[in-house]
Each structure stands twice: as structure tokens, then as C-alpha cells.
Amino acid sequence: MAKSILDKDENAADALQETILKAYQSIHALREPKFFKTWIFRILINQCNTILAGCFAYRSLLTGSPCRFPFTVKNTF
């Protein structure tokens, strides 16, 4: 899923690594184990959006154009 949201394999790998780390650190917050898959996918999507926002902000800083988020996540489930 991360590769379909992010443009570079390196960014997708970073998103996946951060997702695993965040899930490990907050596994105690998962109330219903049957929703684990949904929960971890949501963490991954949020992490991808964070990386995208950083890329757009960096691009905006370089070009001087306003930072916009011209992106919508396609539901790939």
C-alpha cells in the first residue's frame, strides 16, 4: 500500500519501518485485537501522509510556491 501512495521505494520503506515502530510502541492502545489489520493500515496511511506533507513542504520551500496537498488517498482495500 505504501508504494501505491508514495513515489519512491525509499519513502515507502521508511513509512513501513515507522509504522512497525509506532505499532509496537502503542500496541497496548489497541482495544479490539480483531481490528489489528485495520489499525495498522491506518497507521501506515497516516505515516505516508506525513511523508508526503514533508515532501510537499520541502518542494514548496525550494520553489517558493505555496505548499499545498494535492493528494487524495485511493481506497486500495
Contact present, 51 and 11 (Cβ < 8 Å): yes
Q: How many domains, the chain? A: 1
- The pTM for the full model equals 0.72
Look at residue 71 and tell me if it is in a domain. no
Angstrom distance (rounded) from CA 77 to CA 64:
36
Look at residue 55 and tell me if it is in a domain. yes
Q: Which amino acid is at 34?
A: K
Look at residue 70 and tell me if it is in a domain. no
Look at residue 36 and tell me if it is in a domain. yes
DSSP assignment, residue 26?
A: T
Look at residue 49 and tell me if it is in a domain. yes
pLDDT tens for 29-75 read: 999 999 999 999 999 999 999 988 887 665 655 655 554 444 444 44
Look at residue 6 and tell me if it is in a domain. yes
> In the predicted model, is pLDDT for residue 27 greater than 70?
yes
Residue 4's pLDDT band (cuts 50, 70, 90): confident
* Interaxial angle between packed helices 36-63 and 9-25, expressed in degrees from 0 to 180 and rounded to the nearest 10: 130
Domain span at residue 13?
A: 2-63
pLDDT at 7: 81
Look at residue 51 and tell me if it is in a domain. yes
